[in-house]
Amino acid sequence: MGTQVKDVVIKSDAPSALLLDKHADYIAAYGSKKDDYEYTLSEYLRMSGIYWGLTVMDLMGQLTRMNQQEISDFIKSCQHDCGGVSASIGHDPHVLYTLSAVQILSLYDNVNVLDVDKVVEYVRGLQQEDGSFAGDKWGEIDTRFSFCAVATLALLGRLDAINVDKAVEFVLSCMNFDGGFGCRPGSESHAGQIYCCTGFLSIAGQLHQVNADLLGWWLCERQLPSGGLNGRPEKLPDVCYSWWVLASLKIIGRIHWIDKSKLRSFILACQDEETGGFADRPGDMVDPFHTLFGVAGLSLLGEGQIKDVNPVLCMPEDVLERLGLHPDLLS
């Protein structure tokens, strides 16, 4: 019954070997090329961009190639009076960039570059009456921000600062009929949101509230014939879903439901042999975001050359070891 499945076809000459050195060179040089319009345009997310770059370098054992002092100084200049951190200098604070900043400083074991108490106050202040979290003072609500809030506080050892029970109540209210989660109650299930919600529930110690078999099935249904993963039904595969979907499956103890070798082939095919880095799908332009999630996905698949990555926080396991953080995983 020749039904058209929305998918990509991997060409026979697509990369099939892991090119870690090229990726490290790509990240190390990112932002220093002459034609930097893309870099300029992404200033509004610079803090997250730095987190992506540093994390992937650390996973590849190449963190020392990055400039710790410069980055720490930059982060310090991005903390505002309210305690929140902005994406870059002169931008407004937001919980997304507050998390990225704390993740970066955790890699360097130097969170005290920030006024930690003020960060905690900022995050606490974003919680709403229904338990949800706004992203900033302008009030957008999204389960992504619930994740950012608890992840930030967990890294700082200050989860007690918020009403965890209420926060859990809100996230659970975003669970849908298919077992997945969306950004707000009723929103369509989406792999990115599912990662945020399962990560949230892990940190909050409430993973037992997930219907793991039902959600696990929805997640493994993301795998297409090409081996790649999409984010919701009838969408094209994208290498970043190798993270969102795979990490979620790992958190709920069902990562073996994915055909690992087919996924691995897809991820490797997303590499650019000339420039280094990963693109969303084979043949497209690379960027640091997809590079991190391609490498992190391979780590979850057991790639020997890459450090173990923690599926909840998307940070190297050895960093979390040092912090004594062991978020729950289902078995």
**Cβ closest to another protein, residue 112 vs residue 138:** 138
3-state DSSP assignment of residue 287: strand
Count of residues that interact with another protein, criterion CB under 8 A: 60
CA dihedral 193, 196, 199, 202 (to 10 degrees): -80
Q: How far apart are CA 80 and CA 89, in angstroms?
A: 10
94 binds another protein (CB under 8 A): yes
Residue from 31, 110, 125, 173 in contact with another protein (CB under 8 A): 31
Residue from 117, 157, 205, 256 in contact with another protein (CB under 8 A): 256
- Residue spans of beta strands (DSSP E) within the chain: 278-279, 286-287, 309-310, 315-316
206 binds another protein (CB under 8 A): no
Write b or e for each residue in 279-291: b if 16 or more Cβ atoms lie within 10 A of its Cβ, otherwise e: bbbbeeebbbbbb
Element containing residue 243 per DSSP (H, E): helix 241-251
Tokens for 168?
A: 């859990």
Stretch that binds another protein, among 13-21, 111-119, 124-132, 217-225 (CB under 8 A): 217-225
Site track 224-253 with another protein (rule: CB under 8 A), x = hit? -x------xxxx------------------
Residue from 13, 17, 177, 208 in contact with another protein (CB under 8 A): 177
Contact 275, 291 (CB under 8 A): no
**Cβ closest to another protein, residue 80 vs residue 124:** 80
Rule CB under 8 A: which residues touch another protein? 1, 3, 5, 31-32, 34-37, 39-41, 43-45, 67, 70, 73-74, 77, 86-92, 94, 136, 138-140, 176-178, 182-184, 186-190, 216-218, 220-221, 223, 225, 232-235, 254, 256-259, 262
